[in-house]
Amino acid sequence: MKFLIIQPYNLNKAPNTDTVVVADILGAGDGEIVMVAYGRAARLAVGKEDSSIEAAVIGIIDEYDVTPEHYHGDLDPARIKYKKSVHEE
């Protein structure tokens, strides 16, 4: 099993000061944005419920929908699909 060192961040891409070691059975690559499960959910995701794993990659984000007025970060613009504002419809 491969392990990654990740740095969680919020939607504004403000990184937390902590890094997390996560189990990765999906094969995430350097610089990819991943979704992480913690605790029992992480152990179930990798199929090792009796292990000491505390965090695991459960998804690799290919693209994301963002409402422009709610986003002020610097995520990869090539992956962003902007949603129409409720007021534009």
- Compute the C-alpha angle 53/54/57, nearest 5°: 85
Q: What is the pLDDT of residues 18-75, one digit of tens each?
A: 789 999 999 998 888 899 999 999 999 999 888 899 999 999 988 777 666 666 666 6
Between CA 54 and CA 60 the distance in angstroms is 18
Structural domains present in the chain:
2-63 (2.40.50.220)
Cite the beta strand spans of the chain per DSSP E: 2-6, 20-24, 34-38, 55-60, 64-66, 80-82
Identify the pLDDT of residue 7.
Answer: 83
SS3 of residue 6 by DSSP: strand
Instruction: List C-alpha distances in Å: 44 to 14, 18, 79, 82, 87.
Output: 29, 24, 29, 33, 42
Task: Provide the whole-model pTM.
Answer: 0.69
Identify the pLDDT of residue 49.
Answer: 87
